[in-house]
Amino acid sequence: MTVTHITAVMRPEFPLLQPDTSIRSAAAALVKARTAAAPVVGEDGRLVGLLTQKDCFRSALHASYYREWTGRVEDHMSRDIITLHPQDDLIRAAEMFLLHPHRVFPVCDAGTVLGMVHRSDVLSELIRLG
């Protein structure tokens, strides 16, 4: 098998969220982008968290009942983020998806998010290669 770096399958365009973004705006951004997760970056542009669609469900359910959205991204995001490096290969990404229940991993270099690798894209590439 040829070495395929994850940059070949990563998505370079994705919503980028701030910790103080309203959870409603963030949830809408995820839905509009049709993505399972988005990185959250601090004022310096470095990764500080990850917000998933699942993280937005409690607020969405609350809003559907009370007709009021409350909270910010920083209230719901995951802070312990597993990332991949642009030099990681496809096999490493596949192994990470086997080890963790995530649908998406940010691809970072020195804390800067370069792209997002989706489980479905890795599987698609493995099928294509196999």
CA-nearest of 102, 68, 58, 52 to 82 is: 102
By percentage, how much of the chain surpasses pLDDT 90? 86
Q: Residue 1's pLDDT is what?
A: 56
> 79 CB contacts (<8 Å, ≥6 apart)?
48, 49
Query: Domain range holding 69?
Result: 6-129
Residue 112 falls inside a structural domain: yes
Residue 12: pLDDT over 90: yes
Q: How many distinct structural domains can be found in the chain? A: 1
Q: Residue 3's pLDDT is what?
A: 77
Q: Residue 122's pLDDT is what?
A: 97
Q: Residue 63's pLDDT is what?
A: 87
Residue 1 falls inside a structural domain: no
Residue 80 falls inside a structural domain: yes
Say how far residue 68 (Cα) sits from the centre of its chain: 26
Least confident of 18-27, 59-68, 82-91, 116-125: 59-68
What's the predicted TM-score (pTM) here? Answer: 0.91
Q: Residue 43's pLDDT is what?
A: 95
Please tell me which residue, 61 or 2, carries the higher pLDDT value. 61
Residue 40 falls inside a structural domain: yes
Residue 95 falls inside a structural domain: yes
Q: What is the pLDDT of residues 74-127, one digit of tens each?
A: 999 999 999 999 999 999 999 999 999 999 999 999 999 999 999 999 999 999
Tell me the C-alpha distance between 13 and 116, whole Å.
8
| CATH number, residue 33 | 3.10.580.10
